[in-house]
Structure 1
Amino acid sequence: MERVHSLRMMSRFLLLHSLILISLFIAAATANTSSTITDRDALLALKAHITHDPTNFLAKNWNTSTPVCNWTGVACDVHSHRVTILNISSLNLTGTIPSHLGNLASLQSLNLSCNRLSGSIPSAIFTIYTLKYVSFRENQLSGAFPSFIFNKSSLQHLDFSRNTLSGEIPANICSSLPFLDYLSLQENMFHGAIPSNLSNCTYLRILSLSYNDFSGAIPKDIGNLTKLKELYLGRNRLQGEIPREFGNLTELELMSLLENDLQGMIMNFLQFYSSLCLHLYSFVCSSIMLHVLLFFLSD
């Protein structure tokens, strides 16, 4: 009798356990489906904001008859099936960027470069916790820096170059971007001083601020960016002398400072040598000039 009772208890336990597992499986499947629909709707919102698609790329490749993860320009996580990569660059698309893209909660890489997108950059995009790579290069975007960008500690690559963005770079730009290694704002309409806080982006390898309207002195704190390999500050209204702290940039390979209002003996050297370089192989000459300059600054 006792054995029968034990078997009944065991059967009830196994049945309960099975029901719990089935419930969890159904809940997970439902959540996955819901998340996939959220991602699909975000991408369809982007498609709806495109007013001209000369190659009919989106019309041919983005439709509800196929899973989102099979759409051209989209990649997904193999387990969650959430969108992790969105790349629709160089398609000559005209339109605006919807805030719905902020619903792509697992997005890691966003590349909308080389199109004709206009309007502002939605702050909602920078609420995505996983975002590491963003490129809006060569569009017609306007307005100031997105306000939420400074909460994105995951960002590593940020390219806003060749747009019509304006305003000042916020002084705290690097306070919450500890892993940023690429920052390009060149060929925009930014003005004001270059923030000394850029020195807090200690992983920066490439910093490009050329072809803007920056003024004032070059912050000596940039000399603390010891991982920097390329530095472009040309075509602005910068004044004063080149900081001697640049002598700390031992990894630097390329640098442009010309067409500013910089003065001093070091700048005279650069101007003389760059003129001489016109008659020589430019890359070799520039490399020699840079190494001589860094040696002089570190002396």
Structure 2
Amino acid sequence: MTSSSAAATTTTLLLTLSLLLFLSLPAPSLSSKPLCHPQDRKILLQFKNSFTNPNPSLPSWNPNITTNCCEWYGVDCDLTTNRVTSLSIFSTNLSGQIPASIALLPSLQSLTLRKLPYLTGTIPAAIAKLSNLNMLRLSWTNLSGPVPSFLSQLKNLTFLDLAFNNLTGSIPVEFDRLPYLGAIHLDRNKLTGQIPDWKFQSGNAPDIYLSHNQLTGLVPKSFGYYNYSTVDLSRNMLSGDLSFMFGSNKTVQALDFSRNSFEFDLSIVVFPASLTWLDLNHNKIFGSLPVGLTGLNFQLLNVSYNRLCGKIPAGGKLQSFDVTSYFHNRCLCGDPLPSC
């Protein structure tokens, strides 16, 4: 046998052995999901069975089909500990109340129950035991009762969304104890009373959404001490001077104070360069539009239905909006309104 033939034979043999070794290895799992912790699996089944119609809404939560709850709809687990870290259920017909058994998932970091029109009752106190929770989203449901102050015990919370419910009563002042809170959504409820005089722990405050409630009174002066990205107080019954919410040193991007009874002189307001969204429609704001507005890169501007006078400054984005952004003022004029 020639040397070249021997080399070819050796190469073929090595390739054959490599192929046999590869075929002898166990096939990799098609799923990257970790195996579910048995205690968490038990709690999830208790959670499911607490509702009156669990099977049509959570068909994959079937212990007779799969024993791995990490593969069930809306469930995510930690790859190392196998504990459930996220539960996200939305757009189903689950009927009933949030069970207290939710508190028995010790590693839960994110809880979302959203667009569940038959979810009723109050927010259970057991949720306060979820010390690792950083996101709580209970929105677009029929939850009722108060906004519970015990949510301030969730010290790791960064996002709180209780919007589009039937919550009543006042807003807890204790929410300023949440050091990492980045956004709070309490809009589209039936909340009453005044906005709390929150004392946040740093110069930055969470984005605040309180629109479409029945809040009354003045906005606390403390709101002027902080920087926000977004503040939405629209469609309430708030009143008073809001000029302290503005200033050249602020970094706010979106402000919606529409459909209240705010009353202040707009002509003396200095606007932050970061502002891109300003809605003041349907208030009692007077004065004129400052020339400084021409230097802002507005995506939306609406000052209609107020008591403004004078000529609309020319330049910037101000003429890019139509008459609906300016009409129904006392004596405002100039493009896009009729000339002065």
Instruction: Report the TM range for the smaller structure's normalisation.
Output: 0.7 to 0.9
Deviation by residue 1:19-61 (Cα, 9 ceiling, x = unmatched): xxxxxxxxxxxxxx9x9333223222221233346x9241334
Cα distance, 1:280 vs. partner? 5.0
Aligned residue type for 2:223: I
Deviation by residue 1:135-192 (Cα, 9 ceiling, x = unmatched): 11100000112342111110000000000011111222212x0100010000111111
**Percent of residue pairs bearing the same amino acid type:** 32
What residue number does 2:10 align with? none
Cα distance, 1:206 vs. partner? 1.9
What residue number does 1:50 align with? 51
Deviation by residue 1:50-93 (Cα, 9 ceiling, x = unmatched): 3346x924133443642221212101111111100111122243
What residue number does 2:282 align with? none
What residue number does 2:212 align with? 211
What residue number does 1:101 align with? 102
What residue number does 2:172 align with? 170
**Within 5 A, what are the aligned runs for 1:84-123?**
84-116=85-117, 117-123=119-125
What residue number does 1:262 align with? 262
Mapped partners of 1:278, 1:94: distance in 2:
49
Is the contact made by 1:178 and 1:202 (CA closer than 8 Å) also made in structure 2?
A: no
Aligned residue type for 1:238: L
Deviation by residue 1:189-239 (Cα, 9 ceiling, x = unmatched): 11111011154475544210011111110112112221x111100111111
Mapped partners of 2:70, 2:302: distance in 1:
56
5+ long unaligned stretches in structure 2: 1-34, 267-284, 290-300, 306-311, 327-340
Aligned residue type for 2:303: Y
Instruction: Output the TM-score relative to the length of structure 2.
Output: 0.66
What residue number does 1:39 align with? 40
Cα distance, 1:279 vs. partner? 9.1
1:42 aligns to what SS in structure 2?
A: helix
Would you say 1:232 and 2:232 are equivalent positions? Answer: yes
What residue number does 2:187 align with? 186
Aligned residue type for 1:182: A
What residue number does 1:160 align with? 162
Length, aligned pairs only: 248
5+ long unaligned stretches in structure 1: 1-32, 287-299
Aligned residue type for 1:273: V
Mapped partners of 2:176, 2:139: distance in 1:
20
Mapped partners of 1:48, 1:232: distance in 2:
38
1:235 aligns to what SS in structure 2?
A: coil
What residue number does 1:3 align with? none
Change (3 A) 1:169 1:208: same
Is the contact made by 1:222 and 1:246 (CA closer than 8 Å) also made in structure 2?
A: no
Equivalent of 1:273, from 303, 306, 313? 303
Mapped partners of 1:261, 1:231: distance in 2:
17
Aligned-residue CA RMSD (Å): 2.9
Cα distance, 1:274 vs. partner? 3.6
Equivalent of 1:125, from 112, 124, 127? 127
> Highest CA radius of gyration, 1 or 2?
2
Is the contact made by 2:148 and 2:172 (CA closer than 8 Å) also made in structure 1?
A: no
What residue number does 1:70 align with? 71
2:128 aligns to what SS in structure 1?
A: helix
